[in-house]
Amino acid sequence: MPDVANDRRLDPRLRAMLGAFPEMTPTDAASWEEIVENAAASGMGALISQMMDANDTEEIAPSAGLRVTEHEFTSSPDGNTIKLRFVRPDNDEVVPGIYYIHGGGMASMSAYDGNYRAWARIIAANGVAVTMVDFRNSVSPSSAPEVVQYPGGLNDCVSGFHWVHEHAAELGIDTSRLVVAGESGGGNLAIATTMRLKASDDLDKVHGLYALCPYISGEWPRDEFPSSTDNDGYLLSLHSNQGRMGYGIEAFEAKDPMAWPSFATVAEVEGFPKTMVSVNELDPLRDEGIEFYRLAMEAGVPARCRQVMGTSHGAEIFPMVCTEISRDTARDLAAFATEA
């Protein structure tokens, strides 16, 4: 396990945060049902939600000048109801839009957790409209009570994007500046949503893709991704089958790139809109994110990559810890949506 307390590469505030997390030793699971049952019995979801709520303060993420509304849509093809949380400047201007997909390994967490409530306001304060989709998770419920494996959550994300595009006029969103974004599992779903939109000839609706610390491999450690070994234990411990078993082992075994975008080929990302991949220096997922950026470049996509030094996985979504780092990334995301 890493010596977090003495790693001088890590921001001291993150050292303190990571030191407060219980040490995790992941083990392989026999089935999805076992993972769901263990998650429900552990009580960890309530503890994590409580920790996330501490991020939601007016000092960290002021609400002045912003308007928050909630919406629902019917997802296809299952006909289930999914909520959207919408945050925008409190004016009547037409502004760029960010369709944001929360993290949690496609398995847990919610757009209604305190850290995401704060994160949406921090992004929207830069003059953009932020829509957070609360898709069905694969292990622990979000605001959607059902838990479903792949492709249920992805179906919700794609359906929600179409709903936002169709309702852009009433929401005051400039459809020529509508970006798909997300972090960790949400980065996976943001990439996969873009792939789905390509498959349905709807890529013209997407101005850009912004994937933060994307969780896209499905198998760790991997020799070609040294960070999957070197950084394992910094917030995430991934050396088990839990991720792929929880999301759907059949999709992993089939090497389905819409479930695990590390399987994507050049042909499958050709034609993507401009793409930004943002990675964290001390993240076990760092190198798979960088590899996706390189794949996008190879495919002729106008792609860029940024690395946030001194940070562990998804540090930006814990704004109470490193507020200015969260704001830096929020400004970059908003500028990415705004620029041509």
What are the CA-CA distances from residue 301 to residues 158, 183, 270, 294 (Å)? 21, 20, 7, 10
Q: What is the pLDDT of residue 180?
A: 99
On whether residue 218 sits in a domain, the answer given is yes
Is residue 41 within a helix (H) or strand (E), and if so which, with residue range? Answer: helix 32-42
What domain count does the chain have? 1
* pLDDT for residue 62: 98
Count of H helices and E strands in the chain? 12, 8
Determine, yes or no, domain membership for 121.
yes
The three-point CA angle 155-193-271 to 5° equals: 145
pLDDT at site 124 = 98
Give mean pLDDT, residues 195-217. 98
Residue 3 lies in a domain: no
Phi, psi of 153 (to 5 degrees): -65, -40
Give the up-direction half-sphere exposure of residue 130: CA atoms within 13 A in the CB hemisphere: 29
The alpha-helical segments, DSSP class H, found in 92-223 are 114-124, 152-166, 168-171, 185-199
Give the pairing type, strands 81-89 and 129-134. Answer: antiparallel
Show the DSSP H helices in 137-285 as ranges. 152-166, 168-171, 185-199, 227-230, 242-253, 266-269
1 part of a folded domain: no
The pLDDT of residue 325 is above 80: yes
Amino acid at 197: L
Q: Quote the mean pLDDT of the chain.
A: 96
Could you tell me the pLDDT band of residue 278, with boundaries at 50, 70 and 90? very high
Does position 47 have pLDDT exceeding 80, yes or no? no
- What are the φ/ψ torsions at residue 56 (nearest 5 degrees)? -95, 85
Question: pTM of the predicted model, to two decimals?
Answer: 0.98
Q: Assign 26 a pLDDT band (cuts: 50, 70, 90).
A: confident
CA 244 – CA 235 distance, rounded (Å): 18
In a domain, residue 10? The reply is no
CA dihedral 140, 121, 206, 195 (to 10 degrees): -20
Higher pLDDT, 20 or 266: 266
Domain carrying residue 326: 16-338
Which tokens in the block code for residue 148?
């479903």
Look up the CATH number of the domain holding residue 122: 3.40.50.1820
Domain contains 172: yes
Q: Mention every residue, 6+ apart, whose C-beta is less than 8 A from residue 189.
A: 101, 106, 135, 153, 154, 157, 182
What is the rounded (10 degree) CA torsion for 291, 265, 135, 75? 160
Q: Is the torsion defined by CA of 25, 251, 107, 190 positive or negative?
A: positive
| CB 82, CB 133: distance < 8 Å | yes
Handedness of CA 295, 149, 218, 337 (dihedral sign): positive
**Cβ pair 238, 288 in contact under 8 A:** no
Whether residue 279 contacts residue 289, with contact meaning beta carbons closer than 8 Å, is answered with yes
Query: Which of the four pLDDT bands, split at 50, 70 and 90, describes residue 130?
Result: very high
Burial readout 111-137 (b: 16 or more C-beta within 10 A, e: otherwise): bbbbbbbbbbbbbbbbbbbbbbbbbbb
Average pLDDT over residues 70-94: 98
- Other CB atoms within 10 A of residue 74 CB: 11
